[in-house]
Structure 1
């Protein structure tokens, strides 16, 4: 599905990013696997069976919160057919409950995550305008960028949905639409996906309450998110532009 396409995956050392790299390779594409820590990406991908000596994968360091790093990467990049932004930058106070969030902490997290998303989008668009070759950008939003959190599913746990998260993810959805309308060229496509919760060792009480809000699946497996990403990167989604695809087994209904 992706044969002949070279895709940038930012945040390739994370849960979703590393799995995206693997799936792109399985679908015949090649990958630039980028993260703030190149060594950790290589360890992660090796543990998942990726042959780092393969011509299908290149690893590099990329700090999406640093304007110089992002601009330099795209200035030197060649023949990219798309990009997936799986990064999740945040500060040490991230995840605090609403009344414990300080203004400075809130602003810093918006700068780190939303600001870096803007920068990444901007430089993908500049890369396209420079090269004028087809390009598909996939942003990662969330169901909590679409609807308000269902706070009762967190009762009895220390978990919550950070207010910064909801603000950032809703903004990423609109940033995606803005960019699509601004570039206004069928050869440049940008879309977002809004996943439901992804299984990652959450407590059973939470998983049960979450499952009750869905059509039966409950929390998603990483693979449930990857397939739509591959679709958006491929030519099979050629005229899907500026859209937000919700993947949640009915959670937002």
Structure 2
């Protein structure tokens, strides 16, 4: 469906990332206006230009955002009184993130929970505050994961140095319930929060992992970030007007 988001203004937090940058392009292609927010503005502009997004067009603005800073988030909302929805595609973490289970210290675990789940809470809170002030329809999409829904399959990491971090599982599962808490707390049909939980996204992972992962799916294997866009665009649009507190899993059967 063309022009799914015509005349809607969508805030993308983490617009310089693998998924966020493709979302910017996808929303623009559906007639939407985009506020592309990221901690590194220049790198974000460069990436969007590489994806053939004209950063000089009036329907796209690229702005700085520190997702862990309340004032940074509030400033965007204060400067933009006509935001219709938002997607949090950020992925803040410390340098120890991704360590194997027995190598994770309590300090590192707590810091990563604070950085990622804490900032997701902060962003969600400010979206809700923005809605309470403006009282216009608002749709927020938070990005969870299949590992927020099911336990990790550690067999797919054999013969690699990779693992599925314990922080990630705690963060992504917590995010799903945070969505339900907030949307029930606000209790207004005009304010919706949903999640999309992707399977693995291809990002040049080692071949043994890619092969093992593919065997757990129905044949596609790792997803491209483009494969996630349809679900997110649907949740931002009026086609999902009364869909709220839900989680759409996009994983080619991995979690079945």
User: Structures share a fold, TM > 0.5?
Assistant: yes
* Equivalent residue number for residue 16 of structure 1: 19
Q: Which SS does the other structure have where 1:91 is aligned?
A: coil
**Corresponding position: 1:156 with 2:130:** no
Q: Supply the distance in 2 between the matched residues of 1:225 and 1:59 (Cα, whole angstroms).
A: 22
Match of 1:25 among 23, 28, 34: 28
RMSD in angstroms over aligned alpha carbons?
A: 0.7
What does the per-residue CA deviation read over 1:50-91, in whole Å, with 9 as the maximum and x for residues that have no partner?
A: 111101100100001112211222233220000000000000
* Equivalent residue number for residue 123 of structure 1: 126
Gaps of 5+ in 1: none
Q: Which SS does the other structure have where 1:138 is aligned?
A: strand
Match of 1:58 among 21, 36, 61: 61
- Where do 1:1-253 residues align within 5 Å? 1-253=4-256
Deviation at 1:219, TM superposition (A): 0.7
Q: TM-score, with normalisation over the residues of structure 2?
A: 0.97
What does the per-residue CA deviation read over 1:77-119, in whole Å, with 9 as the maximum and x for residues that have no partner?
A: 2200000000000000000000000000000000000000000
Q: Which SS does the other structure have where 1:230 is aligned?
A: helix
Runs (4+) of structure 1 exceeding 6 A deviation are: none
Gaps of 5+ in 2: none
Deviation at 1:204, TM superposition (A): 1.4
Deviation at 1:180, TM superposition (A): 1.3
Q: Supply the distance in 2 between the matched residues of 1:67 and 1:30 (Cα, whole angstroms).
A: 24
